[in-house]
A and B are shown apart, each in its own frame.
Chain A
Amino acid sequence: GEDVEQSLFLSVREGDSSVINCTYTDSSSTYLYWYKQEPGAGLQLLTYIFSNMDMKQDQRLTVLLNKKDKHLSLRIADTQTGDSAIYFCARGSSASKIIFGSGTRLSIRP
């Protein structure tokens, strides 16, 4: 999915906020997603946002969408060791599929 880009790695200190960023090129998607993949497991939907929204908050998670810049971000407040995982940004496609980014590996420092 080269039209959905995200950095490969992020390291944060436990208790700090993590911000994972994503950019995309096609603005026609209805939904944009964040998936989480823990070691040895499949992907699980973490949260999603409708393309007509700017922000969505769900407990420790905040998703921000800047449609003009085609930029999506995921903020995890008070990052814990259990948040260590790979986070995938994705957008819905009119062509019967979801386009995934390459994933950002989040590691937590004590």
Chain B
Amino acid sequence: NAGVTQTPKFRVLKTGQSMTLLCAQDMNHEYMYWYRQDPGMGLRLIHYSVGEGTTAKGEVPDGYNVSRLKKQNFLLGLESAAPSQTSVYFCASSLAGDYEQYFGPGTRLTVT
């Protein structure tokens, strides 16, 4: 039981490049979330999903897209990376919307 895993752990992109971050969970959770964490700003919700095939916008969705084709996976895409997207990205999953969230180890992304 690996819990929540994220790949990659680190990535450096040039402005304008694209990439996809993968989140996987093996707990059969319905809900999955993508956050970004910046110094002094806590966690900000980017997008979330309440089940396979569903996605919804969070607090800071601009510049990101997501897909939930399989229940266990939640993908976060950056189509054209910008320096403002330099951050640490965390994925989380939970059994229900207001239940405990389980977090992945994070992906540190730098956009130059």
Chain A residues packing against B (C-beta within 8 Å) = 1, 8, 29-31, 33, 40-45, 48, 88, 92-98, 100-103
Subset of 20 A-B contacts with CB under 8 Å: A8-B40, A31-B99, A33-B100, A41-B105, A42-B92, A42-B104, A42-B105, A43-B43, A43-B92, A43-B101, A45-B102, A92-B98, A96-B50, A96-B56, A97-B58, A97-B98, A98-B94, A98-B98, A101-B42, A102-B41
B48 touches A97 (CB 8 A): yes
Bound-complex Cα distance A98 to B100 (A): 8
Bound-complex Cα distance A31 to B98 (A): 7
The reply on B74 being an interface residue by CB < 8 A is: no
A98 touches B101 (CB 8 A): yes
Contacts of A40 in B (CB 8 A): 106
Q: How many residues on B have C-beta within 8 angstroms of the other chain's C-beta atoms?
A: 25
How far is the CB of B24 from the nearest CB of chain A, in Å?
14
The reply on B13 being an interface residue by CB < 8 A is: no
Q: Which of B42, B56, B99, B101 contacts A102 (CB 8 A)?
A: B42
Contact A102 to B98, CB < 8 A, known contacts A42-B104, A42-B105, A96-B50: no
